[in-house]
Amino acid sequence: MNQAPEIICIGAVHWDVIGHATGPMLPGADVPGRITRQPGGVALNIALALARQRVAVALLGAVGRDRLGDALVAEITARGVDPRYLFRPEDLPTDSYMAIEDSSGLIAAIADSHTMEAAGLRLLESLSDGLLGAADTPFRGMIALDGGLTEVQLDTLVSAPTLAQADLRVVPASSGKALRLAPFFRRAGTCFYVNLEEAGLLCGEAFADSPSAALGMLARGAGRVLVTDSARAVTDADAKGLIIRTPRRVQAQRVTGAGDTFMAAHMAAELRGASRSDALECALEVAAAHVASAPAR
C-alpha cells in the first residue's frame, strides 16, 4: 500500500446487494434465486478488477465511518486496493446499491449515492494538495473516472490543471447519467468507455451498431472511444482508425460489473504495453469469464 498508484479510480464506493433469479422474471414476480452482498460502485468495481490484474490502484470515493464503512474499507484493502485517499465523513452513512437480475440481465436497480454527492469537491482534494498531484506536479498516470459523480465534481475535473497530463478514461455510471460526460468531449485526449445506448444519448441519435456509434462519438470530439454492444461487436476507435472484435459467447451467470471488468482489463493491458488489438481481445476475454462465473455466495 506504500507503492505509488499506477491508476487512480474516482467515483462510487458502496455495498452492492444483488438478487439473481435463475430464470426470467416479470414485474411483480416472486421467484427463487440468490441474494449476495459485495463491494460495489463503478469506481470500486474497476479498482478491484485492476487489483486482480496486479495493478497498483488507489481509490477516491466517499465511505462513511459507520460499521458498514469500516467493513467495506477492510474488505477492499484485503483485496489489494489502496484506501488511503478515501473521504470518510463522520456524519454520513456508507452508500449502497440494490439490483435485481434474471437470466436475461438487469431488471431494475436503485443507487443510494447521497454521501458521495454530499462530499462535493472534498472528494478530489488529494489530486491538488500534493498527496496525488498538485498544480506544479500533475498526476501523469491513468485515471478511471466514474460518470456517477455530480455535475459539479465532473465539471471541476474537466479543466483541472492537476489532471492536464493524465491519461483520463471516463465511463457512465448508467445510461441515465451518460449525458454528464458530455463536457469531456472538449477535453483533448479523453477516452470514453460506453455502450451503444450511452453513445446514442451522448450524440443525440440512435446507432445501429458499435462502429457507427464510435464514429459518431469521434465526430462529437472524443479523442478515443470504446463502444460495447452486449454480445455483438465491440469497437475501439480513434483518429487512426477502428478496431472491431466480437465477444466470445458464454452462458451468463451474472451481468453486474461486466462493463467495469472489461474497462479494467483493457486499462491494465495497455498499462503493460499491449497493442490496441491485443488489449481489446484481452479485455473481452476477461469480461466473458466474469459473466460466465457464478457470483460468490
The pLDDT assigned to 3 comes to 79
Domain boundaries, the chain: 7-23+33-187+247-292
Average pLDDT for 25-52: 92
3 state SS of 252: coil
pLDDT band at 258 (very low <50, low <70, confident <90, very high): confident
- How confident is the model over 150-200, as pLDDT tens digits? 999 999 899 888 888 999 999 998 888 899 999 999 999 999 999 999 999
Does residue 296 have a pLDDT over 80?
no
pLDDT band at 48 (very low <50, low <70, confident <90, very high): very high
Torsion angle in degrees (nearest 10) through CA of 161, 150, 172, 93: 120
pLDDT band at 81 (very low <50, low <70, confident <90, very high): very high
Spell out the CATH class of 7-23+33-187+247-292: alpha beta
* CA-to-CA dists, residue 148 to 72, 114, 144, 167, 206, angstroms: 19, 11, 12, 19, 23
The pLDDT assigned to 10 comes to 96
Q: Structure pTM?
A: 0.90
The pLDDT assigned to 295 comes to 64
Average pLDDT for 253-263: 80
**Of 136 and 69, more confident:** 69
Q: In what helix (H) or strand (E) does residue 40 lie, and over which residues does it extend? A: strand 33-40
Q: What's the rounded Cα separation, in Å, for the pair 236 and 214?
A: 7
The pLDDT assigned to 294 comes to 67
Does residue 253 have a pLDDT over 80?
no
The pLDDT assigned to 39 comes to 94
**Sheet with 96-102: strands ordered across:** 33-40, 14-21, 96-102, 105-112
Contact 58, 81 (CB under 8 A): yes
Strand partners, 144: 9, 169
Nearest to 43 by CA among 151, 172, 138: 172
Does residue 256 have a pLDDT over 70?
no
* CA-to-CA dists, residue 271 to 54, 105, 147, 178, 266, angstroms: 11, 31, 22, 26, 9
**Of 258 and 144, more confident:** 144
The pLDDT assigned to 275 comes to 97
Does residue 77 have a pLDDT over 60?
yes
- Read off the C-alpha cell for 280: 481489446
- How confident is the model over 98-127, as pLDDT tens digits? 999 888 878 888 989 999 999 999 998 999
- Read off the C-alpha cell for 43: 469506481
3 state SS of 117: helix
Average pLDDT for 56-82: 96
The pLDDT assigned to 259 comes to 87
Mean pLDDT of the chain: 92
- How confident is the model over 54-64, as pLDDT tens digits? 999 999 999 99
The pLDDT assigned to 230 comes to 87
State the amino acid at position 227 in one-letter form. Answer: V
**Sheet with 224-229: strands ordered across:** 57-60, 7-10, 142-146, 167-171, 191-195, 224-229, 232-238, 241-245
pLDDT band at 149 (very low <50, low <70, confident <90, very high): very high
